[in-house]
A and B are shown apart, each in its own frame.
Chain A
Protein backbone atom coordinates (compact mmCIF):
# COMPACT_ATOMS: atom_id res chain seq x y z
CA UNK A 1 0.00 0.00 0.00
CA UNK A 2 1.63 3.32 -1.01
CA UNK A 3 2.76 5.33 1.95
CA UNK A 4 1.09 8.42 0.44
CA UNK A 5 -2.33 6.98 1.19
CA UNK A 6 -1.49 6.73 4.84
CA UNK A 7 -0.03 10.21 4.85
CA UNK A 8 -3.19 11.63 3.34
CA UNK A 9 -5.40 9.72 5.74
CA UNK A 10 -3.40 10.86 8.72
CA UNK A 11 -3.40 14.47 7.54
CA UNK A 12 -7.14 14.32 7.06
CA UNK A 13 -7.77 12.91 10.53
CA UNK A 14 -5.35 15.36 12.08
CA UNK A 15 -7.02 18.33 10.39
CA UNK A 16 -10.46 17.13 11.41
CA UNK A 17 -9.12 17.12 14.94
CA UNK A 18 -7.82 20.63 14.51
CA UNK A 19 -11.15 21.83 13.16
CA UNK A 20 -12.85 20.27 16.13
CA UNK A 21 -10.57 22.02 18.55
CA UNK A 22 -11.20 25.32 16.80
CA UNK A 23 -14.93 25.11 16.41
CA UNK A 24 -16.20 23.50 19.59
CA UNK A 25 -16.57 25.09 22.99
CA UNK A 26 -17.10 22.00 25.03
CA UNK A 27 -13.88 21.18 26.82
CA UNK A 28 -14.52 17.45 26.69
CA UNK A 29 -15.10 17.43 22.94
CA UNK A 30 -11.91 19.44 22.49
CA UNK A 31 -10.12 16.87 24.58
CA UNK A 32 -11.50 14.12 22.39
CA UNK A 33 -10.35 15.94 19.29
CA UNK A 34 -6.87 15.96 20.75
CA UNK A 35 -7.12 12.22 21.18
CA UNK A 36 -8.13 11.95 17.57
CA UNK A 37 -5.05 13.94 16.52
CA UNK A 38 -2.85 11.65 18.60
CA UNK A 39 -4.39 8.69 16.83
CA UNK A 40 -3.75 10.18 13.44
CA UNK A 41 -0.09 10.48 14.35
CA UNK A 42 -0.04 6.96 15.73
CA UNK A 43 -1.44 5.59 12.53
CA UNK A 44 1.22 7.37 10.51
CA UNK A 45 3.96 6.09 12.83
CA UNK A 46 2.81 2.54 12.34
CA UNK A 47 2.60 3.00 8.58
CA UNK A 48 6.14 4.40 8.50
CA UNK A 49 7.39 1.61 10.68
CA UNK A 50 5.99 -0.93 8.25
CA UNK A 51 7.47 0.92 5.30
CA UNK A 52 10.82 0.95 7.02
CA UNK A 53 10.59 -2.71 7.82
CA UNK A 54 9.72 -3.58 4.22
CA UNK A 55 12.85 -1.85 2.99
CA UNK A 56 15.06 -3.49 5.64
CA UNK A 57 13.59 -6.92 4.97
CA UNK A 58 14.53 -6.66 1.32
CA UNK A 59 18.21 -7.00 2.29
CA UNK A 60 17.97 -8.95 5.54
CA UNK A 61 15.08 -11.30 6.19
CA UNK A 62 15.52 -11.40 9.97
CA UNK A 63 15.62 -7.63 10.43
CA UNK A 64 13.62 -6.09 13.24
CA UNK A 65 13.95 -2.54 11.85
CA UNK A 66 10.77 -0.52 12.27
CA UNK A 67 9.80 -1.89 15.65
CA UNK A 68 10.91 1.42 17.18
CA UNK A 69 8.00 3.19 15.51
CA UNK A 70 5.48 0.83 16.96
CA UNK A 71 7.02 1.12 20.39
CA UNK A 72 6.72 4.88 20.12
CA UNK A 73 3.05 4.41 19.45
CA UNK A 74 2.87 2.31 22.54
CA UNK A 75 4.51 5.03 24.63
CA UNK A 76 2.24 7.64 23.11
CA UNK A 77 -0.72 5.60 24.30
CA UNK A 78 0.81 5.43 27.73
CA UNK A 79 1.24 9.14 27.88
CA UNK A 80 -2.22 9.71 26.43
CA UNK A 81 -3.78 7.55 29.09
CA UNK A 82 -1.99 9.49 31.83
CA UNK A 83 -2.92 12.75 30.17
CA UNK A 84 -6.58 11.81 29.93
CA UNK A 85 -6.76 10.86 33.58
CA UNK A 86 -5.29 14.18 34.69
CA UNK A 87 -7.16 16.18 32.04
CA UNK A 88 -10.52 14.73 32.91
CA UNK A 89 -9.82 15.40 36.55
CA UNK A 90 -9.16 19.04 35.68
CA UNK A 91 -12.38 19.24 33.66
CA UNK A 92 -14.34 17.74 36.51
CA UNK A 93 -12.87 20.29 38.89
CA UNK A 94 -13.67 23.09 36.45
CA UNK A 95 -17.24 21.86 36.19
CA UNK A 96 -17.48 21.79 39.94
CA UNK A 97 -16.33 25.39 40.18
CA UNK A 98 -18.21 27.07 37.36
CA UNK A 99 -20.89 24.50 36.57
CA UNK A 100 -19.94 24.48 32.93
CA UNK A 101 -17.40 22.94 30.62
CA UNK A 102 -17.54 25.90 28.22
CA UNK A 103 -14.00 27.00 27.49
CA UNK A 104 -15.27 30.54 26.88
CA UNK A 105 -15.51 30.83 30.62
CA UNK A 106 -11.86 30.00 30.82
CA UNK A 107 -10.80 33.51 29.96
CA UNK A 108 -8.69 34.10 33.01
CA UNK A 109 -5.60 34.26 30.78
CA UNK A 110 -6.58 37.85 30.02
CA UNK A 111 -5.97 38.96 33.58
Chain B
Protein backbone atom coordinates (compact mmCIF):
# COMPACT_ATOMS: atom_id res chain seq x y z
CA UNK B 1 0.00 0.00 0.00
CA UNK B 2 1.57 3.17 -1.12
CA UNK B 3 1.32 6.70 0.10
CA UNK B 4 -1.67 7.59 -2.08
CA UNK B 5 -3.71 4.70 -0.76
CA UNK B 6 -2.98 5.66 2.82
CA UNK B 7 -3.90 9.25 2.07
CA UNK B 8 -7.04 8.18 0.27
CA UNK B 9 -8.11 5.97 3.16
CA UNK B 10 -7.40 8.65 5.72
CA UNK B 11 -9.27 11.35 3.83
CA UNK B 12 -12.20 9.04 3.17
CA UNK B 13 -12.54 8.03 6.81
CA UNK B 14 -12.20 11.64 7.83
CA UNK B 15 -14.83 12.81 5.38
CA UNK B 16 -17.35 10.16 6.38
CA UNK B 17 -16.71 10.50 10.08
CA UNK B 18 -16.93 14.25 10.08
CA UNK B 19 -20.01 14.31 7.96
CA UNK B 20 -21.65 11.83 10.33
CA UNK B 21 -20.71 14.02 13.23
CA UNK B 22 -22.13 16.98 11.39
CA UNK B 23 -25.47 15.24 11.02
CA UNK B 24 -25.61 13.92 14.57
CA UNK B 25 -24.34 16.91 16.50
CA UNK B 26 -26.97 18.47 18.71
CA UNK B 27 -25.37 21.86 18.66
CA UNK B 28 -25.60 23.63 15.32
CA UNK B 29 -22.28 25.33 15.83
CA UNK B 30 -20.57 21.97 16.14
CA UNK B 31 -22.36 20.90 13.01
CA UNK B 32 -20.92 23.79 11.11
CA UNK B 33 -17.45 23.03 12.36
CA UNK B 34 -17.72 19.36 11.44
CA UNK B 35 -18.96 20.33 8.02
CA UNK B 36 -15.89 22.49 7.57
CA UNK B 37 -13.78 19.48 8.44
CA UNK B 38 -15.64 17.49 5.83
CA UNK B 39 -14.97 20.16 3.24
CA UNK B 40 -11.32 20.09 4.07
CA UNK B 41 -11.30 16.34 3.64
CA UNK B 42 -13.00 16.70 0.26
CA UNK B 43 -10.46 19.33 -0.70
CA UNK B 44 -7.78 16.87 0.27
CA UNK B 45 -9.32 14.43 -2.14
CA UNK B 46 -9.21 17.08 -4.84
CA UNK B 47 -5.55 17.60 -4.20
CA UNK B 48 -5.00 13.87 -4.33
CA UNK B 49 -6.70 13.91 -7.72
CA UNK B 50 -4.40 16.73 -8.71
CA UNK B 51 -7.35 19.15 -9.11
CA UNK B 52 -5.60 21.96 -7.39
CA UNK B 53 -7.79 24.75 -8.64
CA UNK B 54 -10.96 23.14 -7.36
CA UNK B 55 -9.30 22.25 -4.08
CA UNK B 56 -8.40 25.81 -3.38
CA UNK B 57 -11.72 27.16 -4.60
CA UNK B 58 -13.48 24.65 -2.39
CA UNK B 59 -11.62 25.83 0.64
CA UNK B 60 -12.02 29.50 -0.15
CA UNK B 61 -15.65 29.46 -1.22
CA UNK B 62 -17.12 26.66 0.83
CA UNK B 63 -15.05 26.28 3.91
CA UNK B 64 -14.29 29.95 3.96
CA UNK B 65 -17.10 32.13 2.70
CA UNK B 66 -20.16 29.92 2.85
CA UNK B 67 -19.48 28.27 6.16
CA UNK B 68 -18.61 31.55 7.79
CA UNK B 69 -21.92 32.84 6.55
CA UNK B 70 -23.63 29.87 8.16
CA UNK B 71 -21.80 30.44 11.37
CA UNK B 72 -22.77 34.08 11.39
CA UNK B 73 -26.41 33.26 10.87
CA UNK B 74 -26.41 30.67 13.62
CA UNK B 75 -24.79 32.95 16.03
CA UNK B 76 -27.09 35.79 15.04
CA UNK B 77 -30.06 33.63 15.89
CA UNK B 78 -28.49 32.54 19.10
CA UNK B 79 -29.21 28.89 18.37
CA UNK B 80 -27.68 26.43 20.78
CA UNK B 81 -28.13 22.96 22.11
CA UNK B 82 -31.14 23.81 24.29
CA UNK B 83 -33.19 25.52 21.62
CA UNK B 84 -32.33 22.97 18.95
CA UNK B 85 -35.65 21.44 17.78
CA UNK B 86 -35.73 17.65 17.80
CA UNK B 87 -37.81 15.41 15.64
CA UNK B 88 -39.61 12.55 17.25
CA UNK B 89 -37.74 9.33 17.45
CA UNK B 90 -39.81 7.40 14.88
CA UNK B 91 -39.41 10.02 12.24
CA UNK B 92 -35.67 9.98 12.85
CA UNK B 93 -35.66 6.22 12.56
CA UNK B 94 -37.67 6.37 9.36
CA UNK B 95 -35.30 8.97 7.94
CA UNK B 96 -32.26 6.89 8.82
CA UNK B 97 -33.81 3.73 7.36
CA UNK B 98 -34.81 5.56 4.21
CA UNK B 99 -31.31 6.94 3.78
CA UNK B 100 -29.88 3.49 4.43
CA UNK B 101 -32.17 1.97 1.85
CA UNK B 102 -31.15 4.57 -0.69
CA UNK B 103 -27.53 3.80 -0.06
CA UNK B 104 -28.17 0.09 -0.32
CA UNK B 105 -29.94 0.54 -3.62
CA UNK B 106 -27.30 2.85 -5.01
CA UNK B 107 -24.43 0.65 -3.93
CA UNK B 108 -26.13 -2.44 -5.24
CA UNK B 109 -26.83 -0.71 -8.51
CA UNK B 110 -23.42 0.84 -8.96
CA UNK B 111 -21.12 -1.79 -7.50
CA UNK B 112 -20.37 -3.23 -10.91
CA UNK B 113 -20.39 0.15 -12.70
CA UNK B 114 -16.63 0.55 -12.88
CA UNK B 115 -14.39 -2.23 -14.05
CA UNK B 116 -10.72 -2.86 -13.35
CA UNK B 117 -9.67 -0.54 -16.19
CA UNK B 118 -11.67 2.38 -14.88
CA UNK B 119 -9.03 4.05 -12.79
CA UNK B 120 -9.11 7.63 -11.66
CA UNK B 121 -5.78 9.28 -12.28
CA UNK B 122 -4.28 10.33 -8.98
CA UNK B 123 -1.36 12.63 -8.23
CA UNK B 124 -0.47 12.92 -11.92
CA UNK B 125 -2.31 14.67 -14.74
CA UNK B 126 -2.47 18.40 -15.30
CA UNK B 127 -5.99 19.19 -16.43
CA UNK B 128 -6.88 20.30 -12.90
CA UNK B 129 -4.27 23.06 -13.03
CA UNK B 130 -5.37 26.67 -13.16
CA UNK B 131 -3.67 27.20 -16.51
CA UNK B 132 -5.64 24.52 -18.31
CA UNK B 133 -8.96 25.20 -16.63
CA UNK B 134 -8.60 28.94 -17.17
CA UNK B 135 -7.99 28.37 -20.88
CA UNK B 136 -11.09 26.23 -21.14
CA UNK B 137 -13.16 28.55 -19.00
CA UNK B 138 -12.40 31.67 -20.97
CA UNK B 139 -12.74 30.04 -24.37
CA UNK B 140 -15.36 27.29 -24.48
CA UNK B 141 -17.25 28.26 -21.31
CA UNK B 142 -17.00 31.99 -21.53
CA UNK B 143 -20.72 32.54 -22.01
CA UNK B 144 -21.82 30.45 -19.00
CA UNK B 145 -19.11 32.16 -17.01
CA UNK B 146 -20.50 35.58 -17.85
CA UNK B 147 -24.03 34.45 -17.19
CA UNK B 148 -23.02 33.17 -13.78
CA UNK B 149 -22.03 36.71 -12.88
CA UNK B 150 -25.59 37.76 -13.64
CA UNK B 151 -26.74 34.93 -11.41
CA UNK B 152 -24.61 36.30 -8.63
CA UNK B 153 -26.00 39.76 -9.14
CA UNK B 154 -29.57 38.57 -8.95
CA UNK B 155 -28.78 36.41 -5.92
CA UNK B 156 -27.31 39.44 -4.25
CA UNK B 157 -30.32 41.57 -5.05
CA UNK B 158 -32.60 38.77 -3.90
CA UNK B 159 -30.78 38.33 -0.64
CA UNK B 160 -30.95 42.03 0.06
CA UNK B 161 -34.62 42.25 -0.82
CA UNK B 162 -35.56 39.25 1.29
CA UNK B 163 -33.38 40.27 4.17
CA UNK B 164 -34.82 43.79 4.31
CA UNK B 165 -36.98 44.53 7.33
CA UNK B 166 -40.75 44.79 6.98
Tell me the A residues contacting B by CB distance below 8 Å: 1-9, 11-26, 28-29, 31-33, 35-36, 39, 42-43, 46-51, 53-54, 57, 64-68, 70-71, 73-75, 77-86, 88-93, 95-96, 100-102, 104
Chain B residues whose CB sits within 8 angstroms of the CB of A65 once the complex forms: 127
Chain A residues whose CB sits within 8 angstroms of the CB of B106 once the complex forms: 11, 14-15
**CA gap between A20 and B54 in the complex, in Å:** 25
For the residues of B in contact with A, the DSSP-based class is helix
Is there contact, CB below 8 Å, between A19 and B23? yes
Is there contact, CB below 8 Å, between A32 and B86? no
Chain B residues whose CB sits within 8 angstroms of the CB of A47 once the complex forms: 49, 120
Q: Which of B51, B66, B94, B120 contacts A6 (CB 8 A)?
A: B120
Is there contact, CB below 8 Å, between B35 and A32? yes
**CA gap between A102 and B20 in the complex, in Å:** 21
Within 8 A of A (CB), among B137-164: 137, 141, 144, 148, 151-152, 154-156, 158-160, 162-163
Chain B residues whose CB sits within 8 angstroms of the CB of A35 once the complex forms: 35, 62, 66
Chain A residues whose CB sits within 8 angstroms of the CB of B119 once the complex forms: 1-3, 51, 54
Is there contact, CB below 8 Å, between B51 and A11? no
For the residues of A in contact with B, the DSSP-based class is helix
Is there contact, CB below 8 Å, between B87 and A1? no
**CA gap between A43 and B51 in the complex, in Å:** 10
Is there contact, CB below 8 Å, between B19 and A13? yes
Is there contact, CB below 8 Å, between A28 and B19? no
Chain A nearest Cβ from B21, distance in angstroms: 10
Chain A residues whose CB sits within 8 angstroms of the CB of B38 once the complex forms: 13, 36, 39
Chain A residues whose CB sits within 8 angstroms of the CB of B45 once the complex forms: 9, 43, 46
**CA gap between A87 and B12 in the complex, in Å:** 29
Chain B residues whose CB sits within 8 angstroms of the CB of A9 once the complex forms: 12, 15-16, 45
